[in-house]
Amino acid sequence: MVSHFSASRRLSPALAPLFAVLVGVVALGAAYGSEYLGGLHPCQMCYWQRIPYAVVILLGILAFFLRGKRGGAYPLLLWLCWLTILVGMGLGAFHAGVEYGWWEGPTACSGGIDTNLSIEELRAKIMGAPTVSCKDAAIRVFTLSMAGWNAIYALCSAIILLILIRKTGRR
């Protein structure tokens, strides 16, 4: 009876990679939705924060299809998903710190124009998308910017994924 109880606590190997994919899809959906539907213009660091979620989607899909194969690829891919989400959390937390003025952001986030550009490059930059500084939060909800909410979302997602990875176990 006890062995049946402990075995029933294991989750399907498909659950963790599907959750990782869902984490990425929801984050990218929120980012693109706020940009294209909400009219919020992203800065350079906002674009950087999207990269880990795209990687998590790809790794999660790959893990899903490799879950029944022999070898260590499946758990390795899940741990890579977890680490990638933590990278996304770090990017969000760093960006939030830049927005709150706790530290300086990269020079790519100044919102200014590079003075080493040719006239044609300068004209293309001016006529292109609006230049947004990483220091300016596009929106704040309950005093947190989207970068701050991204850090919290990624932290919660990483905790849940860690629990799923541990509960999945080896079959």
CATH superfamily, with its number, for domain 12-168: DsbB-like (1.20.1550.10)
Please report the sign of the dihedral spanned by the C-alpha atoms of residue 95, residue 97, residue 101, residue 103. negative
Q: Which residues contact 72 (CB under 8 A, 6 or more apart)?
A: none
As a whole-number percent, the residues of the chain with pLDDT over 90 amount to: 41
- Stretch 20-43: mean pLDDT: 91
Q: What is the pLDDT of residues 124-163, one digit of tens each?
A: 665 665 667 766 766 666 777 888 889 999 999 999 999 9
Q: Which residue from 72, 87, 104 is spatially nearest to 23, judged by alpha carbons?
A: 87
Q: Is the per-residue pLDDT at 2 higher than 60?
A: no
CA distance 53 to 22: 10
Q: Which residue from 7, 2, 131, 12 is spatially nearest to 78, judged by alpha carbons?
A: 12
- Stretch 67-77: mean pLDDT: 82
As a whole-number percent, the residues of the chain with pLDDT over 70 amount to: 75
Q: What is the pLDDT of residues 21-32, one digit of tens each?
A: 999 999 999 999
Name the token pair of 171.
């079959």
pTM for the model: 0.78
pLDDT at 4: 47
Q: Is the per-residue pLDDT at 7 higher than 90?
A: no
pLDDT: which is higher, 2 or 166: 166
Q: Is the per-residue pLDDT at 9 higher than 90?
A: no
pLDDT at 128: 62
